[in-house]
Amino acid sequence: SHIRHAWDPHKSVAQNLAEMGLAEDPNKAVPIPKKLLVSGMEVESDGQQPGKKIVRKPYVVNEMELEASLPEKKSNTLSRDLIDYVRYMIQNHGENYKEMARDEKNYYQDTPKQIKRKINVYKNFYPEEYKNFIASLKPEKMEVQ
């Protein structure tokens, strides 16, 4: 969006990017230094090209750097189907993973280890929700007996 606002439609892509201080071709902007052999000794060329272009719109790069430095939001969530599946299995089978593997709702034919792994993922993603769910199951089992 920062580039879009600073873009001048009357100029070429190379001119627009050069004014913003951005590279049109990353291979030319940061070249790989080539080793030159000079009388038996290795010398690295610095790859700097004479005639640097003047940056007329430095605010574009500054805004992009500021945006990139902001912390990223974690949007890790589990699918509703997986949550419902795990809750169903725990509700009907408790900790018996072999029984869960034989359940008719086990559409993907998960093995007991795969089901256990899915339950552990659910525990790690939603620890409070898992505790509340387990706590809500205990009174039901007491009433049944």
Q: Are residues 88 and 110 in the same domain?
A: yes
Q: What is the pLDDT of residue 137?
A: 87
DSSP 55: -
- Which structural domain range is residue 55 located in? 1-39+50-69
Q: What is the pLDDT of residue 133?
A: 93
Q: What is the pTM of this model?
A: 0.49
Q: Are residues 61 and 113 in the same domain?
A: no
List, in sequence order, every beta strand (DSSP E) within 1-145: 35-38, 41-44
Q: What domain count does the chain have?
A: 2
Q: pLDDT tier at 38 (50, 70, 90 boundaries)?
A: low
Q: Are residues 6 and 61 in the same domain?
A: yes
142 within a domain of the structure (yes/no): no
User: How confident is the prediction for the chain on average, in pLDDT?
Assistant: 83
107 within a domain of the structure (yes/no): yes
**Spatial distance between the Cα atoms of 12 and 7, rounded to a whole number of angstroms:** 10
